[in-house]
Structure 1
Amino acid sequence: MMGLNEAGSTARHFHRGNCIGIARRRDIMNNKIAIISTLLLAYQAFAVPLAVAFYSVVSRAQITNYNMTIPDTLVALNATGTPGGNSLSTLLSLASARQGLVTGLSSQQPLTVFAPTNNAFKTFVDSNPGLDLNGDLVTQTLAFHTTPNYAYHPDANMPFTLLPSGQPPLVSIILTNGTDTSIQYANMSYAKVIETLSCSNGVIHVIDNVLALPANISTTAQHISSLSQLVGALNAANLTVPVDVLPSTTVFAPLDSAFDAINATVKSLNTTQLSAVLTYHVVTSTAFSTYLKDGDTLNTVNGQTLKVALQNGKFVIVGAGSNATIVTGNVQTRNGVIHIIDTVLLPQL
Structure 2
Amino acid sequence: MKLINKISKVFAVVTVALLSFSCESDKENLIEKYPTIVEILDADAGNFSILKAALVKTDLLNTFRNPGSYTVFAPKNSAFIAAGITEGTIAATTAAADIAALRRTLQYHVLSVGTLSTDFPSNGYISSFSPYGTSTSVTISLHTNKTNGVVLNGGNANGGATVLQADINASNGVIHVISHVLSIPKVHNLIIANPDLSSLVGVLTSAPQAAILTDVTTTATGATSALSRTVFAPTNAAFTSASFLTGQSDANITKVLRYHLVNNNLRASSTTSFASTAQIINTQLTGPQQTIAIAAGTVKIADITTVNATIKTINIQGTNGVAHIIDKVLQPTL
What is the aligned counterpart of 1:198 among 158, 161, 169?
A: 169
1:323 alignment counterpart: 308
Q: Could you give the per-residue CA deviations for residues 111-163 of structure 1, whole angstroms, max 9, x where no partner exists?
A: 2111111122122229xxx9997335433221211121121144889556423
What is the aligned counterpart of 2:202 among 225, 228, 231?
A: 228
Asked if 1:333 corresponds to 2:318, the answer is: yes
Q: CA RMSD in A?
A: 4.6
* Contact persistence 2:38–2:65 (CA under 8 A): yes
Could you tell me the TM-score, scaled by structure 2's length? Answer: 0.59
How far apart in 2 are the matches of 1:222 and 1:175? Answer: 12
How far apart in 2 are the matches of 1:133 and 1:152? Answer: 35
Name the SS of the counterpart of 2:83 in structure 1: helix
Q: Which amino acid aligns with 1:302?
A: T
Task: List aligned pairs for 1:213-224, cutoff 5 A.
Answer: 213-215=184-186, 217=188
Asked if 1:183 corresponds to 2:151, the answer is: yes
Name the SS of the counterpart of 1:293 in structure 2: coil
CA 1:236–1:97 in 2, change beyond 3 Å: closer, same or farther?
Answer: closer
1:94 alignment counterpart: 54
Task: List aligned pairs for 1:47-126, cutoff 5 A.
Answer: 65-76=32-43, 78-79=44-45, 87-99=47-59, 101-106=60-65, 108-125=67-84
Indicate the larger mover: 260-269 or 278-287: 260-269
Q: Which amino acid aligns with 2:294?
A: K
Determine which structure has the larger helix proportion and give its number: 1
* Contact persistence 2:57–2:91 (CA under 8 A): no
Could you tell me the TM-score, scaled by structure 1's length? Answer: 0.57
Name the SS of the counterpart of 2:168 in structure 1: strand
Gaps of 5+ in 2: 1-30, 133-138, 224-228, 285-290
Name the SS of the counterpart of 2:169 in structure 1: strand
Q: Which amino acid aligns with 2:272?
A: K
The total of aligned residue pairs comes to 265
Name the SS of the counterpart of 1:65 in structure 2: coil
* Contact persistence 2:37–2:170 (CA under 8 A): yes
* Contact persistence 1:216–1:335 (CA under 8 A): yes
1:302 alignment counterpart: 283
CA 1:338–1:201 in 2, change beyond 3 Å: closer, same or farther?
Answer: same
TM-superposed deviation, 1:317? 3.9
1:292 alignment counterpart: 271
Asked if 1:207 corresponds to 2:207, the answer is: no
* Contact persistence 2:187–2:323 (CA under 8 A): no
1:172 alignment counterpart: 142
CA 1:209–1:239 in 2, change beyond 3 Å: closer, same or farther?
Answer: closer
* Contact persistence 1:132–1:138 (CA under 8 A): no
* Contact persistence 1:319–1:345 (CA under 8 A): yes
By relative contact order (CA 8 Å, sep 6+), the higher-ranking structure is: 2
TM-superposed deviation, 1:91? 0.8
CA 1:211–1:238 in 2, change beyond 3 Å: closer, same or farther?
Answer: closer
Name the SS of the counterpart of 1:206 in structure 2: strand
Q: Could you give the per-residue CA deviations for residues 190-227 of structure 1, whole angstroms, max 9, x where no partner exists?
A: 3124142222322221222221221353x666787532
How far apart in 2 are the matches of 1:184 and 1:195? Answer: 13
Q: Which amino acid aligns with 1:75?
A: D
Select the structure of larger CA radius of gyration.
1
Q: Which amino acid aligns with 1:182?
A: V
CA 1:183–1:237 in 2, change beyond 3 Å: closer, same or farther?
Answer: closer
TM-superposed deviation, 1:92? 1.0
How far apart in 2 are the matches of 1:207 and 1:68? Answer: 20
1:14 alignment counterpart: none
How far apart in 1 are the matches of 2:242 and 2:91? Answer: 42
1:139 alignment counterpart: 103
Name the SS of the counterpart of 2:71 in structure 1: strand
Asked if 1:278 corresponds to 2:258, the answer is: yes
Aligned-residue sequence identity (percent) comes to 24
How far apart in 2 are the matches of 1:98 and 1:195? Answer: 25
Q: Which amino acid aligns with 2:83?
A: F
Task: List aligned pairs for 1:13-52, cutoff 5 A.
Answer: none
